[in-house]
Amino acid sequence: MIKLENVWKVYADGTEAVKDVSLEINEGEFCIFLGPSGCGKTTSLKMINRLIPLSRGKIYVNGVDTMKLNPNMLRRDIGYAIQNIGLFPHLTVEENIATVPRLKKWPKAKQRSRAEELLHLVGMDPATFIDRYPSELSGGQQQRIGVARCLGADPPILLMDEPFGAIDPITRTKLQDEFLKIQAKIKKTIAFVTHDIHEAIKMGDRIALMKNGELIQYTDPTTLLQQPKDKFVRDFVGADRTLKSLQLSRVRDVMRQPPLTVKVEEEPGQVKARMQQEGTTWSMLTDQDNHFLGWITSEDLDPTRSLREIMKPPTVTAVPETPLNDALSMMLSSTIGTLSVLDEDGRLLGVLSFDMIREVLGEQETGRKGG
């Protein structure tokens, strides 16, 4: 879909910003350009839509040499989002989102319906927001509009230059999660620049790690973490790369069935017997519809009190999509060290413990030594 072939960027003063970079991004792939500032990642990105002219080499989009295309036409078929967003302050949300459709002279009604559709996609109510101006939105909302705008005319390719870089960490995590969900639906080919290794591992199918204008390693996140090519890569991904690799797994991959679940109306004495039988000191309490209510430990069991009275309500819960590193920190903050995994309606799906995570880390350790 996108192919860089021996691409160079040399400025008039002799600075070599990008040196002989070759890589290919396949259709539907989420490719991250990662590296410290000044490594040439943004320059590489901007050469794809010709915002920066390339000095040597070739860039193909859909098999066509980009130098053979009119740059404005090329750009209208490639979505573009940047860190500073750059929404047009004098235009409404609708007009901002429909920038490229307007350039492409879509009918007015189609522009509006597309803007509504995209507002839905980025989780904003069209009726509330479509006629507002950017200055009436929060930073996070503006960034959502920035994402919606780059999807305006439904381009197959998106170029994103640190689109979540200027946002507070909590909103950033939220936007990242939402964007991953959106990408799962729309399957665009994405080139995404970041200097944040966590963001790269979380978002990317493949990571192009750059240094001083050179492409050092181009591979999937797991390989980058487990088989760093040289000292630079090892240093860049960080000494805690074992922990970081937890980010690559989700709770759903590791969770197990709880050893014992009991229903809320069961007799305490009966429950005690079942726990002894199963050889466990705790069990999980649910209602008729399997909604998780809380934890029951054997020392709290009291024949005179109902299960509902003695249960400990959960302080934190996870969903199957929670990354393992987040799950680990949740466990560390909870008293029990075991995490309940629930669906969106609060129904019990499984359970996660330290031991299960330790097993995953052990497997990765052997895998790395083996490889």
Partner 1 sequence: MSKTIILIILLVLLLGVTVWMTALGEVGIFKMAPPGKVLRSTLRHVQIVGAAEALAILVGIPVGFFATRRALRYVSPVLVGIANVGQTIPTLAFIGIAGAVLGMGYQAAVVALFIYAMLPIIRNTYAGIRSVDPAVIEAARGMGMSRWQVTWKVELPLARPVIIAGIRTSTVVNVGTAAVAGMIGAGGLGELIVTGIAVRVMQLTIQGAAPTAALAIILDAALGGLEEAVTPRGLKILKEKQWQQ
Report the interface residues with partner 1, using CB under 8 A. Answer: 49, 51, 71-76, 80, 82-92, 99-100, 103, 133-136, 149-150, 152, 159
Amino acid at 32: I
Closest distance of CB 163 from partner 1, Å: 11
Closest distance of CB 275 from partner 1, Å: 60
Closest distance of CB 99 from partner 1, Å: 5
How many alpha carbons fall within 13 Å on the CB side of residue 294? 13
Residues 361, 39: Cα–Cα separation, whole Å: 32
Pick 152 or 228: Cβ nearer partner 1: 152
Residues 349, 328: Cα–Cα separation, whole Å: 18
Pick 135 or 304: Cβ nearer partner 1: 135
Residues 105, 53: Cα–Cα separation, whole Å: 27
Closest distance of CB 106 from partner 1, Å: 14
Residues 323, 250: Cα–Cα separation, whole Å: 4
Cβ contact 20:6 at 8 Å: yes
Closest distance of CB 53 from partner 1, Å: 13
Pick 150 or 327: Cβ nearer partner 1: 150
Pick 96 or 286: Cβ nearer partner 1: 96
Pick 93 or 328: Cβ nearer partner 1: 93
Alpha-carbon distances, residue 321 vs 111, 197, 198 (angstroms)? 34, 20, 17
Closest distance of CB 159 from partner 1, Å: 8
Alpha-carbon distances, residue 40 vs 24, 58, 109 (angstroms)? 17, 16, 41
Which 8-state DSSP code applies to residue 292?
E
Helix (H) or strand (E) holding 61: strand 56-61
Pick 51 or 121: Cβ nearer partner 1: 51
Cβ contact 8:27 at 8 Å: no
